[in-house]
Amino acid sequence: MTTNPVNVATSSPARTGGTASRAIERRTELAAFLRTRRERIRPEDVGLPPGSRRRTSGLRREEVAQLAAVGVTWYTWLEQGRPINASSQVLDAIAQTLKLDAVERTHLFRLADVPGSDTRAPCSQDCPLTAEVQDVLDAFTAVPAHVVNERFDLLAWNDMYATIYPRVTSAPVTERNTLLATLTTPACCNPVGSADVVCNCMIGQLRAAYGRHVGDPAWTHFIRILEAASPAFTKTWAGHDVAQPMTRVTSFRHPGAGTVRVTTTSFAASVPPGARMVVYTPADEASRIALDKLAAGMGTDTHFPCWPTHEPERAALTGADS
């Protein structure tokens, strides 16, 4: 037997202007997220017959409602972005029905604005890193390390990181964003190995972080910049996949060292909320030797073959000397 677990939320006179606008954007984001999660579930995955006359991929709304034991009308309103409230018990049932993993479940609760779904303290634009953070970065003399915020804005880095990623570290402050750089750097001189795979991971993390900032003008503007800069970003962003930082093996390319395999490990930084330090350690002996050579200055003045073409363009954009 299904139940209608909540009532339609009524608007408060105080909930006006920017607050109301953010609430609408949050519900829109929630609706899109639920729809994409529902469409990826095959009927046979939840014990339902596949059928031959389905007009939509994945589950139907009424099937989700039935499996989660909630009212069809209520679930339809939820997926349409209507202003309704949901309890944690009901969201749990929906999360289980849609087979959400831990990251996706947290994202669902955050978008539904369930109390206690996010415990991070707010931060204004002025949340500088402490001097000790740069000291820690500089202590890593043989491996690259940097600090980014939730939007992948580059906040600090060490010399080894600058050696490998000169494009982003030499960019104007407003353009020092590692996701934007990875998306827009030409393949011929992109230092990120398997850039498409790395970008998908970063976009998933960005989507999860965006759930904490839906309706924030700065975040909305940043997403629009990425959409304008990269069709690949727009396509992946529309998928609503979410992820969180994790230790993984990846690689970078350097003209003087070749392909270097590294393990990325993230450490939370105290401020701003959501900032993290990422350290790249060699994943094998050959990569350790390559990093040691770069740390000693060997091959650091070597450039990709496309340097004569791309460096003047980069210098013109950044005001750097060619």
**Percent composition of the chain: helix, strand, coil (DSSP 3-state, to 5):** 50, 10, 40
CATH fold for the domain made of 131-318: Beta-Lactamase (3.30.450)
Peptide bond into 172 cis (omega under 30): no
From first to last of its 322 residues, the chain has per-residue pLDDT tens of 444 444 444 334 444 557 788 889 999 999 999 999 999 998 888 888 876 676 777 999 999 999 999 999 999 999 998 988 888 889 989 999 999 998 999 899 999 988 656 545 445 445 678 889 999 999 999 999 999 999 999 999 999 999 999 999 998 888 899 999 999 999 999 999 999 999 999 999 999 999 999 988 789 899 999 999 999 999 999 999 999 999 999 999 999 999 999 999 999 987 778 899 999 999 999 999 999 999 999 999 999 999 888 777 666 655 544 3
Residue 57 tokens read as 């991929």
| CA atoms of 198 and 251, how far apart (whole Å) | 10
Q: Residue 117's pLDDT is what?
A: 61
Q: Which residue type, as a one-letter code, is found at position 316?
A: A
Give the CATH class of 17-111. Answer: mainly alpha
Q: Residue 179's pLDDT is what?
A: 97
pTM: 0.78
| CA atoms of 76 and 72, how far apart (whole Å) | 6
List the chain domain ranges: 17-111, 131-318
